Amino acid sequence: MRTLGIGLIGTGFMGRAHALAFRNANAVFELPARIHLAALADADAIRAERCASAWGFAHSHADWRQLIENPQVDLIAIATPNHLHHPMAMAALAAGKAVYCEKPLAVSLDQAREMRDAAASAGLVTRVGYNYQHNPIIALARELIDSGELGEIISFQGEFSEDFMADADTPWSWRCDPQHAGGALADLGSHLLALARHLLGAVEAVCADSHTAHRQRPASTGSNERLAIRVDDQTHALLRFANGCRGSFSTSWLKHGYKNHLAFEISGTRGTLAFDQERLNELRLYRPHERPGMDGFQRLLAGPTLPGYAAFCPAAGHQLGYNDLKTLEVRALIEAVCGMPGPGPDFAEAYEVERLATAIRLAAREQRWVEVDEL
């Protein structure tokens, strides 16, 4: 069996999630390659070494360029702040290596376009970390939509809210820097836009409003220095899909009480489907009932009949978790690298997500409807 050497950059929230997924993938799935944790890089050399040892990587690097050049590394996983995705992915593609990059793809549409074009001309496999699409119950949602179970789809209401920035004294971080990230829309909203496209296809026009509620934040925890915030705390938009469906979109990192509220309601002429990532093993399905008094939503619970679920657990209702979605994502990645292309957004699809996000920013700035094809 072929061995694939993994080079992972970043040891934060996502670095750890990638490491766990790469560690688990061969145990959970029958994959066409054996995963070798070849190298781990982080700008903090001590942390790189400590995490490499704890997570089972053979080598650590303080310089990510050395990791990319490491001959043991075949596939580069990028789990660093957003502004580093472009230079790291471009260097990896130039070195002839497949790339698994965290979302959002880049911090500008120009960067995203360059990444898409470099991947296409190199002919290399790329995947982007829109992990929520790999949820087996999202595959069921898509099947219900595509099979016409809900009739003609006419309405999408989507929201991705969290509250990790709700406190005005939560300090500045790279997520607050427009050059390094892009606010709630980039951080959270990009997941929702990717999911909307995954379920319903292209969006052709948007109008939008963006708002920064907390205009200054402490430079660091306990600091008296205040830094100006120039990214959105919340963004609302209306969406017009190419298939005629109308939609609303909202994202906020200030919404008290919500921890991972990536949610949608999709209605068709014959029913409604609802999902909330905070209850990621459930779908709510409404179809009109013929018997009076029996009207109501059905709660569909994930189980082993859904693709991918049984590899983790043979029993329904026992539930998958966030990190399992990452393992499912890694399965799709490894299969694609081994010539078995399956689901999962690549750089071309992530570019389209960035184009849509950029249209929303433009619509908010100019306070008008924007056709996505303007970009």
Ligand X SMILES: NC(=O)c1ccc[n+]([C@@H]2O[C@H](COP(=O)([O-])OP(=O)(O)OC[C@H]3O[C@@H](n4cnc5c(N)ncnc54)[C@H](O)[C@@H]3O)[C@@H](O)[C@H]2O)c1
Contacting residues toward ligand X, per CB under 6 A: 9-15, 41-44, 64, 79-82, 84, 102-103, 129, 131, 187
CB of 266 to ligand X, least distance (A): 21
Residue 10: CB minimum distance to ligand X, A: 4
Q: Give Cα 80 distance to the centre of its chain.
A: 14
Nearest distance, CB of residue 15 and ligand X, angstroms: 5
Residue 220: DSSP 8-state: S
| CB nearer to ligand X: pick between 41 and 311 | 41
Residue carrying the six token digits 């709510």: 284
Instruction: State the residue number with the nearest CB to ligand X.
Output: 12
Structure tokens at 59: 């080598």
**Residue 160 C-beta: closest distance to ligand X, Å:** 11
Of the two residues 82 and 251, which places its CB atom closer to ligand X in the complex? Answer: 82
Q: Which residues contact 273 (CB under 8 A, 6 or more apart)?
A: 141, 144, 145, 150, 264, 265, 266, 267, 283, 284, 285, 286
| 3-state SS class at 193 | helix
Q: Shortest Cβ distance from residue 369 to ligand X (Å)?
A: 28
Nearer to ligand X, 14 or 208 (CB): 14
Residue type for position 154: I
Helix H or strand E segment including 241: strand 234-241
The CB-of-154 to ligand X minimum distance in angstroms stands at 29
For residue 187, the minimal CB distance to ligand X (Å) is 6
Q: Which residues contact 275 (CB under 8 A, 6 or more apart)?
A: 137, 138, 141, 263, 264, 282, 283, 284
The sheet that has 33-41: what strands, in order across it? 59-61, 33-41, 2-9, 75-78, 98-101, 126-128
The whole-angstrom separation of Cα 193 and Cα 357 is 8
Three-class secondary structure of residue 248 per DSSP = strand
Q: Look at residues 293, 43, 280, 42 and name the one whose alpha carbon lies nearest to residue 57.
A: 42
Question: Toward ligand X, which CB reaches closer, 130 or 156?
Answer: 130
Q: Considering the complex, what minimum distance in angstroms separates the CB of residue 133 from ligand X?
A: 10
Please say which residue, 64 or 253, places its beta carbon nearer to ligand X: 64
In this structure, which amino acid lies at residue 194? A
Q: Which is nearer to ligand X, 99 or 300 (CB)?
A: 99
Q: Residue 62 or 362: which CB sits closer to ligand X? A: 62
Q: Please state, in angstroms and rounded to a whole number, the distance separating the CA atoms of residues 249 and 263.
A: 10
What is the C-alpha separation between 73 and 334, in angstroms, rounded? 14
DSSP, collapsed to helix, strand or coil, labels residue 283 as strand
Which C-beta is closer to ligand X: that of 11 or that of 234? 11
